[in-house]
Chains A and B, each alone.
Chain A
């Protein structure tokens, strides 16, 4: 990949979507589109990150995000190591900053971090010399997820301007929702939120989105319905009475989807709670579900982010 990307995003870190401008986003998505083509070839190898070290530092368990970053790093020729911290030093009382300083001494070039505390990636970035990529911090941001969602949608619609997108479900605990709201709005989409009030931030109306508590109203005229995972592990109080009541009013099934535009597409950041926020019939229908495409976009977007950050530091 020797192509140059105008107004390229160069970092020094990717901590969130907030703070990115349209040109930076477009350049990342352009780059990712090229990597998407590479990933569909038999030889998927590039050496953009040859000789560089990527550390995947996961303080929260993750399958898809971690493997996506691992694959992205390896396809670009980086040396990749995965650190799942739960069992490691933190159990012995080491703090996040201690861990950061220790890893920094090993001279990594790229550090991908996921942590349960909002702001953890930003804190880490102040203490290390390498590029930090936020792979999810608490309920704050998950920027590569939003970028892969945008890439997936761009592949279908081209320009997102004027497209109506409903984000449904557990917004209050969701870092995906925060990043998506900022990014999709930046790309000109009309974003709506739909959830019971206990799963919405109190100030959601101030975020430049329309807020609904009823799915058939929310989905009216929507091009895309994005369903969020009900994050029961983050809930500290009773936000919903039961999964069956939740499914009855907010779970996406064919009947509710009928309110959306004909041919509307469905997304989910995974992992799914089938029968809770989404009906299997919808999730598994290749005509309307973009869920597997989202996973494919994920690798390409992460390759784009890693390559751009590495280029920015060269």
Chain B
């Protein structure tokens, strides 16, 4: 994001929905010096650019946690610039970048590189997540303290789960001393090793290897037990099953510092979307049963799930135009995170406030960000969207360099009209 000074903007007549405060009312918002300066009805400001938001909804910009791009190392998949453009068009104003690049983000210089590249080239805020181990390997500790000083907000090995319990205990114990948030992907690596979709009747009929739900349950139980004994904070990254969610719900109730995220795809699709071997629906974790999907939606509503993420993982055609088991898992999602999440509202499954909390205030509170809320003094990271606007997701029109979305061809409702990052308009439909 460029550091040049933004002109004042006055957004009038919009429905302001702010999950952090519970506010949901029509009011005006004045943006000055990259921050929200004033709120109220009938605001006036000389020289401010006026945006008539009548009929539209104004919410904090979305915060997406653990986004993969291809920079550095696989720029044909996605760059920070293309990811930034996709994010801006999707109303996402902050990206926490996954450390799974080549080389991995495993030292302070790499953290600095990502954050600097982000400022220079991306339309939205870019912050880095650091690796837990050098090169995402199975041994050793990465420089968690130095990376945190350089700006890393979270520590994770991306979708490479730490299977070794002794190593995980060490990581959590060390991170506690740095007050760092550790994230692990909940999949027991051996149980998940040969699977390509949810284990179950559908996988058996298709002749595809299954990843059993218990692989997730075991890992969630293990990581919560370790975090609890170490007194550390942990993010369970991208949950997919109802059974594991229940374990997290109980841990939260007894005061364990555990957070969890779920991808928007797992809230809106299920294993049957694999259909006739559609590789765009090959995800990690895999799409699960309809019962799991419903349980996850309930977790968003009751707040057990702190963050709904896109799981953005760009994969070009050459990684997807293959037999199902040979294709890479992953889906892009920056541009469809908002639309996908809003489909829960339009289907009557969740309220607008609950859905928006999980993409704004939820992740902001987890990561200690001052963004993710609409209140005077907060950063002017905002999305103005048309809650009802119908559109059809056309993968080829996505701004990402890779077009792998399981939402391709799906009818969506609700779309970003304007996106502001630190007071700058970075997208206008």
Residues of A whose CB lies within 8 Å of any CB of B are 18, 95-97, 115, 117-120, 122-123, 137-141, 172, 175, 178, 201-204, 206-207, 236-237
Contacts and interface: CB of A to CB of B under 8 A. Distances in A.
B321 A202 contact: no
Contact of B208 (A95, A118, A204, A207): A118
Given A95-B321, A138-B325, A202-B200, A175 B207 contact: yes
Interface string B303-327: 0000000000000001001111110
A122 B324 CA distance: 11
B201 A96 contact: no
Contacts of B322: 95-97, 117, 123
Contacts of B318: 95
Contact of A178 (B193, B201, B205, B323): B205
B276 interface: yes
Contact of A203 (B201, B276, B324): B201
A35 to B, nearest CB: 29
Contacts, number: 68
A172 B199 CA distance: 12
Nearest to A118: B207
Interface in B190-214: 193-194, 199-201, 204-210
Given A95-B321, A202-B200, A178 B207 contact: yes
Nearest to A235: B194
11 contacts: A95-B321, A97-B322, A117-B325, A119-B324, A120-B323, A123-B322, A138-B325, A172-B204, A178-B205, A202-B201, A236-B194
B238 to A, nearest CB: 24
Contact of B199 (A118, A175, A202, A236): A202
Given A96-B323, A118-B325, A120-B323, A203 B204 contact: yes
B277 interface: yes
A123 B326 CA distance: 12
Contact of A118 (B194, B200, B206): B206
B80 to A, nearest CB: 29
A97 B209 CA distance: 22
Contacts of A96: 322-323
Question: Which of B193, B204, B207 is packed against the most chain A CB atoms within 10 Å?
Answer: B207
Contacts of A206: 201
Nearest to B326: A117
A39 B390 CA distance: 62
Given A119-B277, A122-B277, A123-B277, A201 B204 contact: yes
A95 B328 CA distance: 14
Contacts of B209: 236
Given A118-B277, A202-B200, A140 B323 contact: no
Given A118-B325, A140-B206, 5 more contacts: A95-B318, A117-B323, A138-B325, A203-B201, A206-B201
Name the 8 nearest CB pairs between A and B, nearest first: A117-B323, A140-B207, A119-B277, A139-B207, A201-B204, A203-B201, A118-B207, A120-B323
A204 B209 CA distance: 15
Contacts of A202: 199-201, 204, 210
Residue among B204, B209, B321, B325 with max Cβ neighbours from chain A (10 Å) = B204
Nearest to A206: B201
A221 B205 CA distance: 27
Nearest to A203: B201
